Copies of this chain bind each other. A is one copy, B any other.
Amino acid sequence: MELPSKTMERAVRELSRLPGIGRRSALRLILYLLRQGNDRMENLASSIQDLGRNAQFCENCHSISDSPKCSICSDPRRDDKSICVVEDIRDVLALEKTNAFRGKYHVLGGLISPMDGLGPSDLTIEELVNRIKSNNAEEVIMALSATMEGDTTAFYIYRQIGDLSIKLTSIARGLPIGDSLEYADEITLSKSLQQRVLFESTLSN
């Protein structure tokens, strides 16, 4: 049923076009905003407007950035020779939290997924290949999800850059820290067997 107020109807409709927000939750959010008053709505609206008008992609890693080069890519303390390939900016954040990587990133902007109509040309794979060539990168680390889409994308990239003389690695798949072995699925377990490491090397942490 349409709302009696056309402005409200339009706001509800725009909000409910976001993934995971149905008409009912959109209505709940709009009623909340109305109770908060005009200032909150102006702030929310202008922040989205700003983003639409000013957000750009870093020309180096294709992460979202306020300037032509993002803060990570313009940090001189970070190693240019090591490139970590990720799906999107959330993965950059997740990896940055670990403090375990001091190289730079390359954001693909998605994974190859024929089901979602996403092919290699929709991602920044060509830019990655050019970057590796012009940069003389020494190592490219694939940090992609352990899903069919992640594996497909990694394999596609491997086909593009496999014959360049760089070290191409992938983050390890195995038993997550804190998990007990008896509940792990067999694919994870067999991967963790295949990718077993020298016990001595696990003592350094």
Contacts and interface: CB of A to CB of B under 8 A. Distances in A.
Interface stretch (A50-58, A131-139, A144-152): A50-58
A114 to B, nearest CB: 18
Contact of A51 (B20, B30, B70): B30
A188 interface: no
A7 B50 contact: yes
Interface SS of chain A = helix
B97 A1 contact: yes
A3 interface: yes
A42 to B, nearest CB: 6
Q: Is the interface on chain A under 10, 10 to 19, 20 to 34, or 35 or more residues? A: 35 or more
A41 B30 contact: no
A31 B1 contact: no
A11 B47 contact: yes
Contact of A3 (B29, B30, B33, B93): B93
A17 B188 CA distance: 38
Interface of A: 1, 3-8, 10-11, 13-15, 17-21, 25, 27-35, 37-38, 40-55, 63-66, 70-72, 88-90, 92-93, 96-97, 109
